[in-house]
Amino acid sequence: MDFLGIDRVVYGASNLTQANDFFSQWGLKRVSKSPKKLVFETGNGNQVIVQRHDDPELPPKIAEHQEFREVIYGLAKQSDFDAVHDNLSKDRLVSIDKEGVMHTVDDSGIHIGFRVVREKKRPPAKETLWNSPSQKKRVDVISAVYSEAHPFKMGHIVFFVPDTKVAENFYRKRLGFWLSDRYVGGAGVFLRWAKRSEHHNMFFVKSRTNSLALHHIAFEVDSIHEVFGGGLAFSKKGWPTEVGPGRHPISSAYFWYFKNPLGGAVEYFCDADFVTEKWQPHQYRVNRFAEWHLLDGIEIKDDGKSRPSLKSAKEIDQHKKNEMAVVMKASK
């Protein structure tokens, strides 16, 4: 199967105003708003959809204390869509809505869907230049400063499940996902939807209460500068940290998790490992959640004044843009 990634995540909400503030301030672009529905997009077009919690078209909750409803995966080809439909229709109810989105439920009880997606053309990302003792890549250039984050895509989704083996078998045997790593004894399993992909796109964790729930959805940003800049800005707006910032030894990614008022958490992350068919899965026996992390985020004292460092960086950046504009005008 040629999976392109998470295409959409759907939530319900009793307070659409709060949901609008949360995802707008998270850095997503709101592309649609009505009294019953909000639609947000990442940089590459992945969508977060929030509908009124009593909308009869919404799938039911998977956990009573959360408003997560469904995750939709993008497929590159109609032939793959048809193959998934034929496969899953053999032993479960599968429906296709008027938009052409397939809906069903996986073996753990998670509502999932699939649609054929044409990836949006996007401008080439600017490489983050790093200087090390042996190599200087950033010369006569100030490194980027982020006053907020703008997530590029949804990179992975994580669930608590009663049985990680059941979850693993469904996605590997029925959908062709690949195993990246696991915790022994069924404690957790990291999966990816392509042989060449980020370290994981799905992670299933054994629930201590034998119940089903969303753990978090991860949004990829450009660099650790954007993780910190976005996290600081989001904190300053009053949204509480779940855990972080920090760094995962499994996947190598930097992270910062925030509590989501609709349930579970959201994560800024960057610099994850990229693996191929040559990757050899590990069998971990001890918890390796973080190489290091802060429990409560970074304390931000709001004195009502702009931070001099950020203000100066912006002024320098604007000065460079002005100079470039003068040079371009003179060259014409």
Residue 2: what pLDDT? 84
* Three-class secondary structure of residue 169 per DSSP: helix
User: Per the domain annotation, does 101 fall within a domain?
Assistant: yes
Residue 33 has phi, psi (to 5 degrees) of -145, 130
Cα–Cα–Cα angle for 192, 247, 278, rounded to 5 degrees: 35
Residue 307: what pLDDT? 53
Contacts of 22 (CB under 8 A, 6+ apart): 239, 260, 261, 262
pLDDT category of residue 118 using cuts at 50, 70 and 90? confident
For tokens 């006569």, the residue is 140
pLDDT digits (tens, 9 = 90+) for 139-170: 999 998 899 999 999 999 999 999 999 999 99
For residue 114, give the nearest of 152, 76, 160 by alpha carbon: 76
pLDDT at 200 over 80: yes
* Three-class secondary structure of residue 186 per DSSP: helix
The domain that holds 165 is classified in CATH as 3.10.180.10
User: Per the domain annotation, does 264 fall within a domain?
Assistant: yes
Bigger pLDDT: 126 or 13? 13
Contacts of 120 (CB under 8 A, 6+ apart): 44, 45
User: Per the domain annotation, does 108 fall within a domain?
Assistant: yes
Number of structural domains (the chain) is 1
Q: Residue 85 in contact with residue 45, Cβ under 8 Å?
A: no
Question: 91: burial class by Cβ within 10 Å (0-12, 13-18, 19+)?
Answer: exposed
Residue 46: domain span: 3-119+146-293
Residue 135: what pLDDT? 94
For residue 106, give the nearest of 180, 183, 168 by alpha carbon: 168
User: Per the domain annotation, does 300 fall within a domain?
Assistant: no
For residue 250, give the nearest of 183, 323, 315 by alpha carbon: 183
CA distances from 87 to 4, 110, 125, 192 (A): 19, 17, 37, 19
User: Per the domain annotation, does 60 fall within a domain?
Assistant: yes
User: Per the domain annotation, does 197 fall within a domain?
Assistant: yes
Residue 42: what pLDDT? 96
Bigger pLDDT: 276 or 124? 276
Q: Mean per-residue pLDDT for 282-301?
A: 91
Mean of pLDDT over the chain: 92
Give the Cα separation of 206 and 119 in Å (integer).
33
- pTM summary value: 0.89
Q: And the tokens for 118?
A: 């044409």
Q: Mean per-residue pLDDT for 239-250?
A: 97
SS3 content of the chain, % helix, strand, coil (to 5): 20, 35, 45
pLDDT at 305 over 60: no
CA distances from 76 to 18, 43, 115, 144 (A): 34, 18, 9, 34
Residue 167: what pLDDT? 98
Residue 299: what pLDDT? 86
Residue 38 has phi, psi (to 5 degrees) of -120, 140
Q: Mean per-residue pLDDT for 305-310?
A: 56
Q: Mean per-residue pLDDT for 49-62?
A: 96
Sequence-distant contacts of 248-251: CB under 8 A, at least 24 apart? 248/288, 248/289, 248/290, 248/291, 249/288, 249/290, 249/291, 250/181, 250/190, 250/199, 250/282, 250/284, 250/288, 251/190, 251/198, 251/199, 251/200
Residue 157: what pLDDT? 98
Residue 128: what pLDDT? 87
Give the Cα separation of 88 and 173 in Å (integer).
11
Residue 63: what pLDDT? 97
Q: Mean per-residue pLDDT for 297-314?
A: 66
User: Per the domain annotation, does 244 fall within a domain?
Assistant: yes
**C-alpha distance across the termini of the chain, in Å:** 50
User: Per the domain annotation, does 331 fall within a domain?
Assistant: no
pLDDT at 326 over 80: no
Q: Residue 199 in contact with residue 155, Cβ under 8 Å?
A: no
pLDDT at 327 over 60: no
